[in-house]
Amino acid sequence: MKFKIILSLLIFTGFKISAQQNKTTLDVDKRYHDFGKIKEDGGKVKAVFTFKNTGNADLYILKVEPSCGCTLGEYTKEPIPPGKTGTVTAIFNPKNQVGIIDKTVGVYTNAHYASIVVLELRGEVIPRDKSMSDIFPYRVGNLMFDKEMVELGNVFHNALDSAYLVMYNDGQYPIKINNVSTLPVGYKVYASKNAIEPNEEAKLFAVVDGNVIKDFGPFNKNFKLFTDDQEYSEKPLFMIGSLQYNFGKMSKKQKKSSPKFSIDKKEKDFGEKAIGSVVEEFFYITNKGKNDLEILTLRSQCSCTKAEIDKKTIKKGERAILKVTFDLLGHAGNIQKPITIYTNDPNNAEFNILLKAKLF
């Protein structure tokens, strides 16, 4: 019995000594690399980290995981014997990485005390010099534009607003601006110059008169710029924005006397309907405020819905009937479509009602 116990102790001690003798440890020459200032278009840069096996068993670099797709990791795949070194190379691509570099590379090893080593990449990427194609990315013929649309943002119903884009003549001859295609009343486009000389710029203005246009909410107007450019004389462009009611700064008295939009329900679920059905529903809008409630615009996002109201001006305490028609032809499954109501109620300037159906 004593012999068995002594033998067990010797075996256990032997394993313990063996385990202690075969631990893998490592040392890294540095934990971060500073690239300093590098150019965005200067190409890929490398940082080499040296791993030394300070243990008494083979060191394995199992895998390398960079924190960003802009960085690749290469490493020694073979076992690194005790006393020898291997490397991890971080390859950083500065393209589209303008600004401070703050990236990491996780290195996974079989080391006893440092199975994961986190390496850092530091520095700063200086933006490349912009080419004309960067400044004017939209091109039609010899005329380049800084964008293909004029963005007006919010346009108030009682104001005139404008915005512009910039054009650049990249050709060898002057380009004459002849005219612009016809736009609806209230929308206007004009150029700052009648002709643009080679390597010169001009502005193209879009003007929207909120006093004239009547459709509240988002607008998107396509137009063509007619020129004498030898390549693609017609330049397709568009303007976007949104007509909004201008409530301005309202006093407490004005707020108390303002109209108050109220509706009997927010949505209508028609349930199960056959494809191709046409269904109707009535909504009742009441003015619970003091001044007249104006229904400015009824906007459908789909040609399958139609909204009609019996009166657009609703007096205090009065009610209006909103009739909606939902054409279910060309749809399948569960369908839902909104209709937006634009009003002069400062608390309900935009109100959505939702139409639902399940088609079979």
pLDDT by position in tens, the chain (length 360): 443 433 343 333 333 433 345 789 999 999 999 999 999 999 999 999 999 999 999 999 999 999 999 999 999 999 999 999 999 999 999 999 999 999 999 999 999 887 899 999 999 999 998 899 999 999 999 999 999 999 999 999 999 999 999 999 999 999 999 999 999 999 999 999 999 999 999 999 999 999 999 899 999 999 999 999 999 999 999 999 999 999 988 888 888 899 999 999 999 999 999 998 999 999 999 999 999 999 999 999 899 999 999 999 999 999 999 999 999 998 889 999 999 999 999 999 999 999 999 988
pLDDT in tens, 311-328: 999 999 999 999 999 999
CATH of 24-126, picked from 2.60.40.10, 3.40.50.720, 3.40.50.880, 3.10.300.10, is: 2.60.40.10
pLDDT digit string, tens, across residues 124-158 = 999 998 899 999 999 999 999 999 999 999 999 99
- What is the per-residue pLDDT for 112? 86
Q: What are phi and psi of 12, to 5 degrees?
A: -60, -45
- pLDDT value for 330: 84
Q: What is the CATH number of domain 132-244?
A: 2.60.40.10
- Residue 21's pLDDT is 59
List the beta bridge partners of residue 88: 49, 75
Rounded Cα distance between 302 and 281, Å, is 17
What does the pLDDT read at residue 252? 84
Q: Is residue 103 a contact partner of residue 34, using CB atoms and an 8 Å limit?
A: no
Give CATH 2.60.40.10 domain extents, the chain: 24-126, 132-244, 258-359
Q: What is the pLDDT of residue 6?
A: 39
Nearest to 286 by CA among 258, 257, 262: 262
At 336 the pLDDT is 93
pTM above 0.95, yes or no: no
- Residue 186's nearest CA partner among 210, 162, 205, 152 is 210
Domain 258-359 superfamily per CATH: Immunoglobulins (2.60.40.10)
- pLDDT tens figures, 192-222: 999 999 999 999 999 999 999 989 999 999 9
Look at residues 239, 242, 357, 345 and name the one whose alpha carbon lies nearest to residue 299. Answer: 242
User: Which phi and psi angles does 51 have, rounded to 5°?
Assistant: -105, 125
